[in-house]
């Protein structure tokens, strides 16, 4: 590894590309459920991020693809939302309202220009947002019963996401982060065949555009997605989060088959380790993960948002150790 100190952006870029870095990059999804506790202990989220020298910034700002008022009107009827209703209602907003990108500009000034962090912007995939609109069971049923209508909705969202990604890259984001949960605890929510036919094409289209415009593309998908990891490679994702070991995805699969194909972000298990294990066991688990992944294409991060059951003192204990191990 290089001894010369890198900026956070240089460090994360090198890690994603599988190049030597001065240390393991550090990040975490920590704030949503422990806002008050973090503010009390660290002064603010910014105080925590500065203390542990976070290398990334996750941007959630900017435009949203759907007209929420139209969706709320449909929900008020009490009837299940169908793909036909969504198509007839014209739920998609224009991605060309540049005033809605101003919060992204401000975030980039703060995190990228001032602190030299690697900045990635979240945008919806295909399965996850329509799970939210229709409910998971109804969405999956509609995929089987009305594939043409669902594919039309997916195409419209893909076009929105393509334009959104282009604008964000023009503003200076380092990575476009597509959030699209496909996995349950031991297997996928849909069959691999349905995934390849209905989900993969739109995501590949967006990732190709991201790459053509000189940026990285990453995926967030909870749960077990090992049956489509070859598809993740085919799409061209540069990084996936969280690569969930405790959801039937052993690290051996990644290290033996995919470590030369994409980076991973995660490793700090919020489901049954952080906030649940006794500290001696938690320390052993974190050291175990570092033993497996140190020096690899790995950004140290929580597997999701730290949960309410986690005490802020346990969070501090974990990140004190992570800060130390990342520098060894």
pLDDT value, residue 1? 46
Whether residue 218 contacts residue 166, with contact meaning beta carbons closer than 8 Å, is answered with: no
Whole-angstrom distance, CA of residue 104 vs CA of residue 216 = 17
Whole-angstrom distance, CA of residue 197 vs CA of residue 179 = 19
- Ranges of residues in the chain with a pLDDT under 50 are 1-2
Q: Chain centroid to CA 323: how far?
A: 22
Whether residue 299 contacts residue 56, with contact meaning beta carbons closer than 8 Å, is answered with: yes
Strand partners of residue 233 = none
pLDDT value, residue 3? 52
Strand partners of residue 120 = 58, 175
Strand partners of residue 177 = 122, 218
Given the candidates 3.20.20.210, 3.90.1150.10, 3.50.50.60, 1.10.510.10, the CATH classification of the domain at 67-98+122-241 is 3.20.20.210
Q: What is the dihedral of CA 170, 171, 174, 180, to 10 degrees?
A: -90
**Cis, peptide link before residue 73, omega less than 30° from 0:** no
Q: How far is CA 77 from CA 81, 87, 136, 202, in A?
A: 9, 17, 19, 31
DSSP, res 101: G
Q: Which residues contact 228 (CB under 8 A, 6 or more apart)?
A: 182, 188, 192, 195, 196, 200
pLDDT value, residue 4? 79
Across the beta sheet with 175-179, the strand order is 56-59, 118-124, 175-179, 216-220, 239-241, 263-268, 298-302
Tens of pLDDT, residue by residue over 195-248, are 999 999 999 999 999 999 999 999 999 999 999 999 999 999 999 999 999 999
Whole-angstrom distance, CA of residue 158 vs CA of residue 260 = 28
Whether residue 217 contacts residue 255, with contact meaning beta carbons closer than 8 Å, is answered with: no
Domain ranges within the chain, ordered by starting residue = 1-55+263-328, 67-98+122-241
């Amino acid at each position: 590894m290089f001894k010369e100190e890198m900026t956070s952006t240089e460090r994360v870029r090198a890690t994603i590309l599988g190049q030597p870095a001065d240390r393991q990059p550090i990040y975490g999804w920590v704030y949503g459920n422990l806002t008050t506790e973090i503010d009390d202990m660290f002064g603010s989220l910014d105080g925590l991020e500065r203390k542990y020298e976070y290398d990334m910034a996750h941007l959630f700002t900017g435009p949203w693809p759907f007209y929420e008022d139209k969706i709320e009107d449909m929900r008020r009827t009490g009837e299940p939302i169908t793909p036909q209703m969504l198509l007839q209602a014209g739920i998609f907003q224009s991605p060309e309202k540049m005033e809605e990108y101003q919060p992204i500009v401000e975030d980039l000034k703060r995190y990228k220009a001032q602190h030299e962090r690697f900045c990635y912007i979240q945008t919806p995939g295909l399965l996850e947002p329509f799970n939210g609109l229709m409910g998971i069971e109804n969405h999956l049923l509609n995929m089987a019963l009305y594939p043409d209508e669902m594919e039309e909705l997916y195409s419209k969202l893909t076009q929105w996401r393509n334009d959104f990604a282009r604008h964000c890259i023009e503003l200076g984001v380092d990575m476009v982060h597509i959030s699209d949960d496909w996995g349950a605890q031991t297997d996928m929510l849909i069959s691999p065949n349905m995934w390849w036919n209905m989900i993969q094409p739109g995501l590949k289209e967006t990732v190709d555009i991201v790459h053509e415009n000189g940026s990285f593309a990453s995926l967030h998908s909870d749960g077990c997605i090992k049956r489509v990891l070859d598809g993740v490679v085919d799409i061209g994702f540069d990084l996936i989060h969280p690569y969930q070991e405790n959801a039937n995805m052993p690290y051996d699969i990644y290290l033996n088959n995919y470590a030369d194909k994409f980076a991973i972000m995660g490793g700090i298990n919020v489901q049954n380790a952080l906030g649940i294990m006794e500290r001696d066991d938690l320390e052993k688990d974190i050291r175990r993960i570092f033993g497996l992944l140190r020096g690899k294409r790995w950004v140290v991060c929580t597997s999701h948002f730290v949960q309410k059951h986690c005490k802020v003192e346990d969070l501090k204990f974990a990140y004190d150790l992570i800060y130390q191990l990342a520098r060894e």
